[in-house]
């Protein structure tokens, strides 16, 4: 840029977005304001809590804006008053209307945690694991009015490991997203016009928001599908299952060979290696569980409290 630095407004809310905010600050661009969701009740006391992005912005001495939406003209005028060249949006939690997308001179960029057009929407990280995808990644996208439909500017790809959890993939994609954003800003600051690549209209999938009702494991399904759910729902909302009459949260599990003819949901083996539950196909070996009101423990420790499971499985 000639004459003045690139003026950037950053919009984001959760932990995932914080590395991208730091990438903006380190790029040489001027972060003139940070937008984030209004403070929400959190914790057992349900006290209002700042978002991770707000906390990072305040620590850096950046102005923070928290409108409920951009429906009001006053909120759009406030954004325009910052005279942004670019707005960077990362897991903000609001769909931006056309009038907002048109305010920055260079439009709005979005860092999205999937390989578009697969997994547009709210929960792309978990949906990729649930579906058994072999790889994921992040796309730096030029925003349009549609939901994650804009052309891709920069892409980063990464394999999904066999033991990947929602938490581990979240952390890797957060770092990859910051890396892609940093490259986009560096090239733009150097005077380059990034070439957008339109998304294919084939292979579109929508990553619907996670619902706690999905957390219940149904042993009438194949074991591999349940293993993926356990991994995808770590650390939230955490898979749940009824095991020999007790409701447990399931933190770690893997699909193993089953016993032909075993009724789904029955304990077919129990040892220090884990507790095997018969499924429609194969068995799910529970490795780490949590009892009501308790903490996460190994299946071996759980069996110490319920030794009768060993006899039931023998």
237/160 same-domain check = no
Place 312 in a pLDDT band, splitting at 50, 70 and 90.
low
Percent of residues, the chain, with pLDDT higher than 70:
98
Nearest Cα to Cα of residue 126 among 21, 241, 211: 211
Same-domain check for residues 241 and 139:
no
**pTM of the full structure:** 0.95
Reference 169, options 127, 122, 214; nearest CA is 127
Asked whether residue 1 is assigned to any structural domain, the reply reads no
**Are 217 and 191 in a shared domain?**
no
Q: Is the pLDDT of residue 206 over 50?
A: yes
Question: What's the Cα-to-Cα distance from 133 to each of 80, 119, 159, 170, 244, rounded to whole Å?
Answer: 41, 11, 9, 15, 32
Which of 294, 310, 296 minimizes the C-alpha distance to 252? 296
Sign of torsion over alpha carbons 258, 260, 262, 264: positive
Binding site listing: 114-117
Q: Are residues 238 and 295 in the same domain?
A: yes
Say whether pLDDT at 1 is over 50. no
One domain, residues 194 and 248: no
What contacts 66, CB < 8 A, 6 or more positions away?
A: 35, 36, 37, 38, 39, 54
Of residues 258 and 311, more confidently modeled: 258
Do 218 and 257 fall within a single domain?
Answer: yes
**Binding-site residues from annotation for (6S)-5,6,7,8-tetrahydrofolate:** 114-117
Which residue range(s) make up the domain with 294? 212-313
The verdict on 218 and 88 lying in the same domain is: no
Does a structural domain hold residue 2?
no
Q: Residue 45: which pLDDT band, with cuts at 50, 70 and 90?
A: confident
Report pLDDT digits (tens) over 6-25. 999 999 999 999 999 999 99
- Distance in angstroms (rounded) separating the CA atoms of residues 219 and 268: 13
Please identify, among 146, 176, 207, the residue that sits at the C-terminal boundary of a domain.
207
Tell me: do 203 and 217 sit in the same domain.
no
Indicate whether 36 and 85 sit together in one domain. Answer: yes
pLDDT band at 313 (very low <50, low <70, confident <90, very high): low
Q: In the chain, how many domains are there?
A: 2
């Amino acid at each position: 840029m000639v004459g003045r630095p690139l003026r950037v407004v950053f919009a984001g809310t959760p932990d995932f977005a914080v590395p991208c905010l730091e990438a903006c600050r380190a790029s040489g661009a001027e972060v003139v304001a940070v937008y984030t969701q209004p403070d929400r009740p959190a914790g057992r006391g349900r006290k209002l809590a700042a978002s991770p992005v707000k906390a990072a912005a305040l620590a850096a001495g950046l102005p923070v804006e928290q409108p409920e939406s951009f429906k009001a003209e006053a909120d759009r005028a406030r954004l325009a008053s910052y005279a942004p060249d670019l707005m960077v949006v990362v897991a903000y939690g609001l769909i931006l209307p056309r009038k907002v997308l048109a305010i920055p001179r260079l439009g709005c960029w979005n860092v999205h945690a999937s390989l578009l057009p697969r997994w547009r929407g709210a929960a792309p990280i978990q949906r990729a694991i649930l579906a058994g995808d072999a790889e994921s990644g992040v796309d730096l996208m030029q925003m349009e009015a549609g939901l994650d439909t804009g052309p891709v500017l920069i892409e980063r790809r990464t394999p999904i490991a066999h033991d990947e959890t929602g938490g581990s993939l979240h952390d890797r994609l957060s770092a990859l997203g910051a890396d892609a954003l940093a490259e986009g800003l560096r090239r733009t600051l150097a005077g380059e016009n990034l070439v957008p690549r339109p998304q294919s209209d084939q292979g579109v999938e929508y990553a619907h928001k996670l619902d706690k009702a999905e957390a219940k494991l149904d042993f009438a399904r194949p074991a591999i599908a349940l293993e993926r759910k356990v991994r995808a729902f770590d650390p939230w909302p955490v898979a749940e299952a009824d095991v020999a009459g007790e409701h447990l949260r399931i933190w770690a599990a893997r699909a193993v060979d089953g016993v032909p003819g075993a009724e789904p949901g029955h304990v077919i083996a129990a040892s220090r290696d884990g507790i095997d539950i018969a499924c429609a196909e194969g068995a799910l070996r529970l490795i780490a569980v949590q009892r009501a009101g308790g903490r996460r423990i190994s299946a071996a420790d759980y069996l110490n409290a319920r030794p009768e499971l060993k006899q039931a499985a023998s």
